[in-house]
Structure 1
């Protein structure tokens, strides 16, 4: 055991991580109970709401679907099926703009809800503790559960039991360190029992001995609610850990280091240090899928910002247009409004509000444009102050990385561990020269991905060409062998005729 791990245990089991910043929280919806959003006249459901491959539609125009019915099937391993968020009629299937920085579209299934409560669910499994973990994992896959902390990675993949890397500790992430966002906060306050039940299911599936629910100390009511739920559930070796408020504490690798003292090496996964990390909303979704047979069709979203007359936390069916959601919270005129999908540190400006809410949507922030523009500063030359390196939670050198990306020296940027960057925005936040460092990193990552795809295509083309040449050579040799055998046969025939 290393000195850091020893010190971590001696200090009470809670450490910290390098860097980070203290940002204004502005969580003015923390005391707003979760409300159910009315159904939109039309739901626009993307067939891809996860990291991985897009799904294939299972329905056609004119079909009637029930809430929870599978409407798009995963075609690859890295995928999660899509289910109908409401009962109604499929009116069209076509490409539509989705929430993505590119502003591009994807195939979407348009459903007109009929207002009925017709639903399709799987058989509830209250006896989950008597079932095989693999069976439960398949249920999670069938119900389309993905990471609801923002990554939307298919959850069933993280639940694989690996004999070489057994899971010792499962961490439920209730940190929610992004300013303004309070969805996880309200879930922990209002539905702590379901979150803890989901934690029990997850721990059983991966065989973890210890369970930890991590919550920042700016949510004392959530800490109290989850502790009470753990006591009611009588879960052994499970505890709530209150953490000092610091951004980006909720980032997976940083949270693991804080809770366990273990650092996840570059290029490795939490499972390689014996840890599984899941969001509290994901844990609740797992509980609903296993114990109630409910697929993932909706989620809680924080709607906030100075342009929103009625901010709050809203349970929203997937496919709901952002424009409709904002209008339901009192914001109808968006001409002079900037809308951010996600939080202010890692979120993206929306080019259009005529896009549907999806599984990755945890917040919508609307601000008056004049305020946003007043905060923007002209980019200045780097003064080499080093503040960006001091706050980087991954111990990178952001100013040098940005230089390499700006100058298209992408290979050099990769050598400086560009892909270790978690795009938390701490470096941009503290930069006195107002350099949009994260934008350069995203640009560099995109260009490197394009280069790698081109290299892969070239390599595959070379391999195909070489395989063709080998095939032609084999065919040539076979033809030569056949000609040789024919000559030998003819010679034998001539010799036999001469002997007669």
Structure 2
């Protein structure tokens, strides 16, 4: 029985360029002289380093611990010596650096202790924690931590688990070769995912230009004896491999912006992710390698099993880079990113190293004014109005660009591909998004600063008020005490002797204060005269006696100044 398929809006059909890289089986890559393994390779927090320079590590040993739930661990790709933990250039157009662990392989490629898990007898939460610590992330390009997507949602189960084997972008064939050669193991990973999500059915979407992969997956399903799993051939049209587009084609469900597919009972994973889950659960191997397509300006395009952290130029040399190579692109020609250097490392997001040259990718024609032909809107798979978004992005009217649903754009490049004016529309959209994000961050920082300032003022006012209240309470208590003392004095005034005059009272207060000062002075009087001879002590005693007399009777003190010399 043929399954009913649906269509999505727009899309294009670029030249595939896939045949040459599928002529030979997946090959292994020799160990490089050093591996540079970035600690941050997925969406979410930055894993914290768990090793130190000079430490020896085993293959598969965890070297970066997950930082919170939205993060994933990182592991040593081979055994060797940790040479350094330093910022290194990451595989991104920006050329920025990220903290990385530099490992010098020892050539033994020796595994550490591996933990296997029986997914059928292990609670789902423990399975998800295990996959987090195994570093499993989405290998379709988004590199989202898989353990978070393996939650069935509020209902506790899913209707449909969609497995993405479309691989629609030109030149890339790593998923195609994985399905051809490792369909059985991939299917075991899918069965484990189905168990965790409690999905009623599994649909594996594969573009119909991959007949060998379709046949291999269907054979694996038949051999497994599992029911409710189906490999579905879908029409070849870019970007059918987009998650929302594939869900639409297979199920007819349209997932709107701001909503999750799990809200509609559907979840989508890449075939490479399913295989890495099998490797982690059945063999205890964390995600330390992946299949990478090397294509473009090379003699022998091919797919390789590449250790994470391997320099890209080390892999490209195996395929034989041709003269004229001037760039590496990570990904395909539609959505790929140009690398800042040839020796940046392969990471979990690296599905293809596209070797470029001026002959293969000539400079684009000069940008011309938009003629509002509407071709970009016809090709947009998200059913947007790219020409409107372009005008407002160019004018830096970011609010208006958002009104045209700027953030619904998946940056697939279909609009730029069909534009007769050769406008790099996606570049404008990326610029607008980055500006909006920057302004949002500035606004959040300003709001935080304002909140802190207002709270500081509130705290100071509160402390001032509390202090005033304490002083008022103390004054009230003093007044009550004085009032009580006054009442007692008034009651006994008839029998008490007459009070001294005001001058006598003041004099008494002064004498009391002076006596208190003398006592304090006596307490701090230096004691360094105890060891003096009797004559000196007698002289000191006489001086102190004169000082006491002078203090008690100032009128007897000698006049100021030296004594006179005459009679």
Aligning the two structures, in what range does the TM-score lie when normalised by the shorter sequence? Answer: over 0.9
User: 1:488 and 2:476 equivalent?
Assistant: yes
2:309 aligns with one of 302, 305, 319: 319
How far residue 165 of structure 1 moved from its aligned partner, in angstroms, is 7.1
| Equivalent residues in 2 for 1:43-58, closer than 5 Å | 43-58=35-50
Aligned residue for 2:342? 353
Task: Indicate the structure whose relative CO is greater, using CA pairs within 8 Å and at least 6 residues apart.
Answer: 1
Give the unaligned 5+ runs of structure 2: 489-567
User: 1:395 and 2:394 equivalent?
Assistant: no
User: 1:210 and 2:201 equivalent?
Assistant: yes
1:235 aligns with one of 222, 226, 236: 226
Question: C-alpha separation between the residues in 2 aligned to 1:32 and 1:262?
Answer: 38
User: 1:435 and 2:458 equivalent?
Assistant: no
1:25 aligns with one of 9, 13, 16: 16
Question: C-alpha separation between the residues in 2 aligned to 1:371 and 1:143?
Answer: 39
Structure with greater Cα Rg: 2
Aligned residue for 2:392? 404
User: 1:459 and 2:452 equivalent?
Assistant: no
| Equivalent residues in 2 for 1:38-437, closer than 5 Å | 38-125=30-117, 127-164=118-155, 166-305=157-296, 307-331=297-321, 336-373=325-362, 376-437=364-425
Q: Deviations over 1:240-273 (max 9, x none)?
A: 1000100000000011011110010111111111
Where 1:340 maps in the other structure, the secondary structure is strand
How far residue 332 of structure 1 moved from its aligned partner, in angstroms, is 7.5
Where 2:231 maps in the other structure, the secondary structure is strand
How far residue 415 of structure 1 moved from its aligned partner, in angstroms, is 1.3
Moved >6 Å (runs of 4+): none
Question: C-alpha separation between the residues in 1 aligned to 2:86 and 2:115?
Answer: 32
How far residue 496 of structure 1 moved from its aligned partner, in angstroms, is 1.8
How far residue 166 of structure 1 moved from its aligned partner, in angstroms, is 3.9
Where 2:344 maps in the other structure, the secondary structure is coil
How far residue 431 of structure 1 moved from its aligned partner, in angstroms, is 0.4
Distance 1:440 1:468, change over 3 A: same
Where 2:293 maps in the other structure, the secondary structure is strand
Give the unaligned 5+ runs of structure 1: 1-9
Question: C-alpha separation between the residues in 1 aligned to 2:333 and 2:273?
Answer: 22
What's the TM-score, normalizing by structure 1? 0.95
Aligned length in residues: 487
Question: C-alpha separation between the residues in 2 aligned to 1:266 and 1:231?
Answer: 37
Distance 1:12 1:252, change over 3 A: same
Question: C-alpha separation between the residues in 1 aligned to 2:166 and 2:435?
Answer: 32
What's the TM-score, normalizing by structure 2? 0.84
Please identify, of 116-125 and 219-228, the stretch whose mean Cα deviation from structure 2 is larger. Answer: 116-125
Question: C-alpha separation between the residues in 1 aligned to 2:454 and 2:110?
Answer: 57
RMSD, aligned CA: 1.4
Question: C-alpha separation between the residues in 1 aligned to 2:113 and 2:419?
Answer: 51
Where 1:288 maps in the other structure, the secondary structure is helix
How far residue 110 of structure 1 moved from its aligned partner, in angstroms, is 0.5
Where 2:362 maps in the other structure, the secondary structure is helix
Question: C-alpha separation between the residues in 1 aligned to 2:257 and 2:418?
Answer: 25
